[in-house]
């Protein structure tokens, strides 16, 4: 399997705060659905933002799609090929209607308006969201916004999905729908989630972010030691 992301010995600290990442290393190969687990504040969202160049580590190496990425221009291609679904959908949705939000990415990539609208119709149909097409975005429920955020990213036809707490605050029905959608997608994924049940249904393997480093995550061993599965 081809390696899509390989990061080595990442170090990152916010100003005047202790390090968040301290030698974190990981790989993501084609077809993998990798879960990242860990307590609040461990640095999971920080790691996701580093993968697409929204944050820059103080040390370490990032190789994405076979090329080392260092400066901002290096990450322009990465952000075209890796779709990042933010933890808060309100950070991702800013157009008046769902169709306009989903069309924004394809238009930004140079598609004509007709092409972008055809992509909108296709992606919404594939996700079972066609009825949302002309809905006012800010009037959607939290779960609906999460599904539309995913549609916005899929409209750009990414090779990798980076999903930050995709099941957060979803009801049982919408969570099941999210699981079904993600399991049916061909893209490799990095999934940050506190929901152990959700992870078991979606991920093919898991790493735990602990003391700034990524280590193999074995829930069975943690339960045997009497620890919770964060």
- Specify the pLDDT at position 1: 67
Please write the tens of the pLDDT for every residue from 190-224: 999 999 999 999 999 999 999 999 999 876 434 33
Give the mean model confidence (pLDDT) for residues 115-130: 95
pLDDT band of 226, cuts 50, 70, 90: very low
The pLDDT value recorded for residue 19 is 94
**Helices 172-184 and 142-154 meet at what angle, rounded to 10?**
10
Residue 22 has pLDDT above 50, yes or no: yes
Q: How far apart are CA 105 and CA 168, in angstroms?
A: 24
According to DSSP H, which parts of the chain are helical?
Answer: 44-51, 74-81, 98-108, 113-126, 142-154, 172-184, 196-202, 219-224
Given this model, what pLDDT does residue 220 score?
43
pLDDT digits (tens, 9 = 90+) for 140-177: 998 899 999 999 999 999 999 999 999 988 889 989 99
> In Å, what is the CA distance from 223 to each residue of 4, 201, 210?
32, 19, 17
Buried b (16+ CB within 10 A) or exposed e, 113-144: eeebbebbeebbeebebeebeeeebeebeebb
Structure tokens at 35: 């879960």
What percent of the chain has a predicted confidence (pLDDT) above 90?
Answer: 85
- Confirm whether pTM is higher than 0.85: yes
Average pLDDT in the chain: 91
Q: In the CATH hierarchy, which fold is given to the domain comprising 3-224?
A: Rossmann fold (3.40.50)
Residue 201 token pair: 């249904």
- Which residues, in sequence order, are CB contacts of 28 under 8 Å at separation 6+? 3, 4, 5, 6, 34, 160, 188, 190
Q: Is the pLDDT of residue 25 over 80?
A: yes
As a whole number, mean pLDDT of residues 88-92 equals 89
**pLDDT (tens digit, 9 = 90+) per residue, 2-21?**
999 999 999 999 999 999 99
Task: Tell me: pLDDT of 228 over 60.
Answer: no
Count the neighbouring beta carbons within 10 Å of the beta carbon of residue 172: 7
- Tell me the average pLDDT across 68-96: 94
Q: Percent of the chain scored above 70 by pLDDT?
A: 94
């Amino acid at each position: 399997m081809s390696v899509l992301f390989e990061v080595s010995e990442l170090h990152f600290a916010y100003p005047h705060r202790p390090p968040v990442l301290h030698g974190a290393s990981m790989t993501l190969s084609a077809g993998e659905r990798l879960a990242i687990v860990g307590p609040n504040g461990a640095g999971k969202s920080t790691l996701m933002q580093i993968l697409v160049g929204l944050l820059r580590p103080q040390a370490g190496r990032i190789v994405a799609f076979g090329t080392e990425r260092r400066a901002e221009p290096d990450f322009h291609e990465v952000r075209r090929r890796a779709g990042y679904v933010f933890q808060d959908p309100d950070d991702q949705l800013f157009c008046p209607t769902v169709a306009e939000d989903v069309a924004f990415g394809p238009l930004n990539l140079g598609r004509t308006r007709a092409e972008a609208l055809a992509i909108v119709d296709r992606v919404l149909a594939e996700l079972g969201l066609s009825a949302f097409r002309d809905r006012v975005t800010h009037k959607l429920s939290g779960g609906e916004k999460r599904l539309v955020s995913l549609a916005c990213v899929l409209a750009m036809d990414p090779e990798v999905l980076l999903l930050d707490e995709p099941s957060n605050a979803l009801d049982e029905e919408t969570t099941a729908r999210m699981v079904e959608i993600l399991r049916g997608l061909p893209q490799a994924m990095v999934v940050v989630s506190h929901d152990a049940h959700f992870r078991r249904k979606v991920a093919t393997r898991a790493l735990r972010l602990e003391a700034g480093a990524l280590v193999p995550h074995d829930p069975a061993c943690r339960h045997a030691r009497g620890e919770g599965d964060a």
